[in-house]
């Protein structure tokens, strides 16, 4: 079992090992606990055109610059919340998008929040669904996740074996979309379906897409 101190140190390191180490971890909020089965890593300014921090610090992305272990939440498509775990050394922006998970506690509460979902494996299958199942919104922005607050991130009870972790391209970004920084537990039914981004045709030159 990974200790709390080791988990905190992992999150404070490089974003790819941190992302892989988040698989199997649990996130609890609003009476529901989700075991993470899919995540997506994003580096910071200058190194990752798909990152919200690619162009530097702004009021929106300031929390991404650390310290690690805090939540970076953002609103997308005018209707959905997504949440990231901030990683890396203080002052160097990076974060891991929580893409999917298995509801392991508070199933009835999650079902009540996701009434249109017919299968339990779909309750938190996708970043917006994960937030909806946990009842997460703007209020989670900047919260420290490793303490005893209302939103709690805990290390895996049993680390996921490296051979069980698969990697592939990121989802829904136009910049650096083929970077294989999406990680998931192979064969897990709660992992979201991969859909490669297809740019919209427009008369104007579009800017790089960014997800976290």
Tell me the domain boundaries of the chain: 4-185
Quote the pLDDT of residue 81.
94
In this prediction, residue 26 has a pLDDT band, given cuts at 50, 70 and 90, of very high
**CA pair distance 136, 109, nearest whole angstrom:** 13
Mean pLDDT of 188-210: 62
Residue 198 predicted with pLDDT over 80: no
Q: Which residue has the higher pLDDT, 76 or 155?
A: 155
Give every CB contact of residue 133 below 8 A, 6+ residues apart in sequence: 32, 34, 103, 110, 113, 114, 123, 124
pLDDT tens, position by position, 101-111: 999 999 999 99
In this prediction, residue 54 has a pLDDT band, given cuts at 50, 70 and 90, of confident
Quote the pLDDT of residue 206.
39
- Count of C-beta atoms within a 10 Å radius of residue 9: 14
**CA pair distance 75, 127, nearest whole angstrom:** 11
Report the predicted TM-score, pTM, of the whole model to 2 decimal places: 0.89
In this prediction, residue 174 has a pLDDT band, given cuts at 50, 70 and 90, of low
Mean pLDDT of 116-139: 96
Quote the pLDDT of residue 201.
53
User: Residue 131 — φ and ψ, nearest 5°?
Assistant: -65, -40
Residue 29 predicted with pLDDT over 80: yes
Q: Residue 99: which region, alpha, beta or left (left: phi > 0; alpha: psi -120 to 50)?
A: alpha
In this prediction, residue 211 has a pLDDT band, given cuts at 50, 70 and 90, of low
**CA pair distance 187, 107, nearest whole angstrom:** 21
Residue 114 predicted with pLDDT over 90: yes
Least confident of 39-48, 97-106, 146-155, 157-166: 39-48
**CA pair distance 18, 149, nearest whole angstrom:** 21
Long-range Cβ contacts of 22-26 (<8 Å, 24+ apart) = 22/85, 22/96, 22/98, 23/156, 23/160, 23/165, 23/183, 23/184, 23/185, 24/156, 24/157, 24/158, 24/159, 24/160, 24/185, 25/153, 25/154, 25/155, 25/156, 26/104, 26/153, 26/154, 26/156, 26/157
| Of 154, 149, 145, 117, the residue nearest 133 (C-alpha) | 117
pLDDT tens, position by position, 58-75: 888 899 999 999 999 998
Class of the 4-185 domain? alpha beta
Contact between 134 and 31 under an 8 Å Cβ cutoff? The reply is no
């Amino acid at each position: 079992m990974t200790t709390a101190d080791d988990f905190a140190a992992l999150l404070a390191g490089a974003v790819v090992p941190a992302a892989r180490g988040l698989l199997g971890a649990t996130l609890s909020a609003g009476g529901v606990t989700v075991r993470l089965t899919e995540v997506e890593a994003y580096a910071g300014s200058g190194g990752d055109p798909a990152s919200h921090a690619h162009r530097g610090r702004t009021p929106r992305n300031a929390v991404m610059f650390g310290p690690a272990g805090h939540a970076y939440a953002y609103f997308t498509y005018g209707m959905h919340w997504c949440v990231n775990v901030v990683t890396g050394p203080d002052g160097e922006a990076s974060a891991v998008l929580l893409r999917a998970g298995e509801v392991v506690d508070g199933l009835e509460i999650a079902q009540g929040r996701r009434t249109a979902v017919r299968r339990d494996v779909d309750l938190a299958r996708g970043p917006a669904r994960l937030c909806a199942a946990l009842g997460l919104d703007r209020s989670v922005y900047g919260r420290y996740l490793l303490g005893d607050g209302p939103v709690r991130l805990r290390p895996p009870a049993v680390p996921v074996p490296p051979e069980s972790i698969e990697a592939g391209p990121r989802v829904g970004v136009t910049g650096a979309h083929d970077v294989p920084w999406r990680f998931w537990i192979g064969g897990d039914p709660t992992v979201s379906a991969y859909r490669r981004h297809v740019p919209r045709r427009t008369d104007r030159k579009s800017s790089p897409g960014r997800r976290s």
